[in-house]
Amino acid sequence: MTISATILMVFLSMVYSIGQTTTAPTQPSTANPDSVGVNSTHTYDVAYTTRNAGAAPNTYVWTISEANASFSITGAGVPGTDYTIAAGADAALQNIVWLKAGYYVIQLQENNPAGYGSCAGTPQTLDVCVGPTGTVQFASATGINQCSAAGSYSTTLSFSGTISYPVTVNVKYTINGSTSTATISIASAVSPLVIPAGVNFLTSLNDDPGRSVQITGAQDSFGGALALGATNTNTLTIWSLPATTPIHHN
């Protein structure tokens, strides 16, 4: 009796494995809630299951709901206003563009195809915080006035809101009236904005009381645009060095 039962279990296991093929998810696991930026695009997926040599895939129903700060559902999400969603290579993978700041719950229900009993899998959920859009600005509108020197220039930034690092900051800096632009990566909330030495931001042949660096735009690691605070320009004076000649004598 025990041997027969074992043989039956092995047989059923073989039938199950032959009839059902599961492809693992392609996205890395993320923390729950998932923190993203407004106007950013993200891919979400679960394992994809097909039956009968792939001819009959399981069904996947994705639902996005609005929620409060505790991620309790308050109503249906609005396509085109809160988000847009499009299937990827299969129904188990969705590409979602988050359009509006707020709290959302992604819900997924997987079922067997009708010909395989329409059995329901365990519902899955993922909480998503879209913003509120973070803000970046300089901690101070004025830098430290200093004499002309070589080296990089470092100034402190101030962040607020929900931000995923690293942050990409677009800047415009002015040296003796001439402006240039650069894109600088900020690793964390405590990392300063650093203009590298090769820019010669601290070097001047003449007194330059209007040396400045201005933030013109910023994005977090998910591509969400950050708002610019009121203090988006940092200004200082670079004093030129005296042109001391060699000592002469008679």
For residue range 190-247, list pLDDT tens digits in order: 999 999 999 999 999 999 999 999 999 998 876 777 889 999 999 999 999 999 999 9
Q: Is residue 66 part of a domain?
A: yes
Q: How many helices (H) and strands (E) would you count in the chain? A: 1, 21
Q: Is residue 246 part of a domain?
A: no
What pLDDT sits at residue 53? 86
Among the candidates 75, 103, 130, a domain finishes at 130
Q: Is residue 53 part of a domain?
A: yes
Has residue 17 got a pLDDT over 80? no
Q: Are residues 233 and 151 in the same domain?
A: yes
Q: Are residues 198 and 145 in the same domain?
A: yes
Q: Is residue 17 part of a domain?
A: no
Q: Are residues 85 and 183 in the same domain?
A: no
Residue range 27-45, pLDDT digits in tens: 988 878 888 878 889 999 9
Q: Are residues 27 and 125 in the same domain?
A: yes
Number of structural domains found in the chain? 2
Mean pLDDT along residues 157-176: 91
CB atoms within 10 A of CB 128: 24
**CATH number of the domain within which 157 lies:** 2.60.40.2030
What pLDDT sits at residue 18? 53
Q: Structure tokens of 151?
A: 């080296």
Among the candidates 84, 107, 130, a domain finishes at 130
Q: Are residues 172 and 86 in the same domain?
A: no
pLDDT > 90 in the chain, percent:
75
Has residue 1 got a pLDDT over 60? no
Report helix, strand or coil for 102. Answer: strand
Q: Is residue 46 part of a domain?
A: yes
Among the candidates 85, 112, 130, a domain finishes at 130
Q: How far apart are CA 172 and CA 12, in angstroms?
A: 67
Q: Are residues 161 and 201 in the same domain?
A: yes
Q: Is residue 178 part of a domain?
A: yes
What pLDDT sits at residue 30? 80
What pLDDT sits at residue 9? 40
Cα distances (angstroms) measured from residue 128 to each of 35, 72, 140: 6, 12, 33
Q: Is residue 4 part of a domain?
A: no
Q: Is residue 3 part of a domain?
A: no
Has residue 13 got a pLDDT over 60? no
> In the predicted model, what is the mean pLDDT of the chain?
90
Domain span at residue 99? 22-130
Mean pLDDT along residues 169-189: 96
Cα distances (angstroms) measured from residue 147 to each of 173, 192, 241: 18, 21, 7
pTM above 0.85, yes or no: no
Q: Are residues 44 and 89 in the same domain?
A: yes
Has residue 8 got a pLDDT over 50? no
